[in-house]
Structure 1
Amino acid sequence: MAANQNPQALIVRGGWDGHEPVQTTDSFIPFLTENNYQVRVEDSTKIYADADYMATVDLIVQVVTMSTIEKDELAGLRQAIANGTGMAGWHGGIADSFRNSADYLQLIGGQFAHHQAKARPEELKGEAADNFVRYTVNIHPDQKQHPIVAGIEDFELETEQYWVLSDDYNDVLATTTIPARDFDAWHRPITCPAIWTRQWGNGKIFVSTPGHQLTVVDHPSVRTIIERGMLWVTR
């Protein structure tokens, strides 16, 4: 990106409406424009296959839960990031996208596997709030000076707590620990990455697992972390 050129941001959103892809991404557009980004919004991953356009993008913000992605679209996404485009996203919009694609999972470095219910099965009401539990996001002690989380203390949320399958190529900025209750099938607490970054070629990736809905990304710590993450990964 030339020094006198505004950074180009591409928002790609869609998938399951329960994650409020439109509302959550819209809420960050003012922040991006205030930081001189030119913002383009797409409701399809087809744009990833446009190599000429993707070469101009400095930041991708993706919120597309589940869904599928075509081979040429994924190839375009991976190549753009390898060439230096940054990628950011939150919750299922990045960590539960395109479950059928191993190449996407390798790129992102973490895949949603589970969110525990708040009570015993017989006590649940069959509604989304059944999966909203109170939990803590713990800033990794070795990363407290990282520009994305500097000055942020451990914080609590009441929302879905993601159990994430991941690898050690991630730079984990924060974790969360899922307890083992007497009615759970697992036998000890599980500590998972909650916020991480990842290098891919010349590009950088940022993932925040908190972000289920607008009320969650509006939490002051979550919003600050996502805003900083978008800036940090930008080419």
Structure 2
Amino acid sequence: MTSRRALVVRGGWDGHKPVEATELFLPFLRDNGFDVTVSETNDVYADADLMAATDLIVQSVTMSEISREAFAGLRDAVRAGTGLAGWHGGIADSYRKESDYLHLIGGQFATHPSKAPEECGAGESDNFLPYTVEMTELGRTHEITTGITDFSLDTEQYWVLHDDLIDVLATTTHPVQPYHPWHRPVTSPAVWTRHWGDGRIFVATPGHSPEVLADPNVRTIVERGMLWAARTA
């Protein structure tokens, strides 16, 4: 059987542990028949031959920048059928200056609300909140999330700006708090898919750290999401 090819692109802000996080999933990809190439730079997207031969891109690059040539290579590959998958800031908070990338992904990190001011101590845990990931009606039957019920996490809860071309499999709701400026609960997508040309895109917003990715529900969703996104023909 001919192996499929996966390209893992990682880098950007180190706070999301892009190396450790992606290493969690390399054995899974190999066990599912992928030859895996790892790149520490997104310049690889400008390699047209490599991109044409790639069935799945797994990206973990928070913030950072991307050249026009590299972005064009990524965009064209997805449109031609290469799958794109990722989690948290590694896909939903990449390349903030590149509006066409935001258009490709369909959702962009805006913030992660914090605890009450009196509970904050100027550390990253100030933004760790208990919250629930709730399956949508579509999510209850979709192959990525079927059999997974609503579940709770204690980590960053992403507030996402998004369009309605995404298919939302799970959501999370930001409550009203006296120390925040919004006046009604706000629901954000937590897991979504997107069809772009002949390609498929998968995004999960949980995944701040390897520990969050090790949660059985999160890990199952990411693993299924990668397989779903990979080129099908």
* TM-score, normalized by the shorter chain, greater than 0.5: yes
Structure 1 residue 192 corresponds to structure 2 residue 188: yes
Q: 1:204 aligns with which of 177, 200, 203?
A: 200
Instruction: Give how far 1:183 is off.
Output: 1.4
Q: Please tell me the residue identity of whatever aligns with 2:125.
A: A
Q: Partners of 2:66 and 2:139 in 1: how far apart?
A: 33
1:160 maps to 156
Structure 1 residue 97 corresponds to structure 2 residue 94: yes
1:114 maps to 111
**What does the per-residue CA deviation read over 1:46-81, in whole Å, with 9 as the maximum and x for residues that have no partner?**
000000110000000000000000000000000000
The list of structure 1 runs, each at least 4 consecutive aligned residues, that deviate by more than 4 angstroms after superposition, is none
Q: Please tell me the residue identity of whatever aligns with 2:36.
A: V
Q: Partners of 1:124 and 1:222 in 2: how far apart?
A: 26
Q: 2:8 aligns with which of 6, 11, 20?
A: 11
Query: Which region of structure 1 is more displaced relative to structure 2, 200-209 or 4-13?
Result: 4-13
Structure 1 unmatched runs, 5+:
none
Q: Partners of 1:186 and 1:83 in 2: how far apart?
A: 41
1:51 maps to 48
Q: Partners of 1:136 and 1:93 in 2: how far apart?
A: 21
Q: 1:176 aligns with which of 161, 168, 172?
A: 172
**What does the per-residue CA deviation read over 1:141-171, in whole Å, with 9 as the maximum and x for residues that have no partner?**
2331100000000000000000000000000
SS of aligned partner of 1:141? coil
**Overall identity of the aligned pairs, in %:** 58
Structure 2 unmatched runs, 5+:
none
**What does the per-residue CA deviation read over 1:178-229, in whole Å, with 9 as the maximum and x for residues that have no partner?**
0110111111110000000000100000000000000000000000000000
Q: Please tell me the residue identity of whatever aligns with 1:14.
A: G
Q: Please tell me the residue identity of whatever aligns with 1:61.
A: V
Q: Partners of 1:123 and 1:6 in 2: how far apart?
A: 51
Structure 1 residue 41 corresponds to structure 2 residue 44: no
Contact 2:138 2:168 in 1 (8 A): no
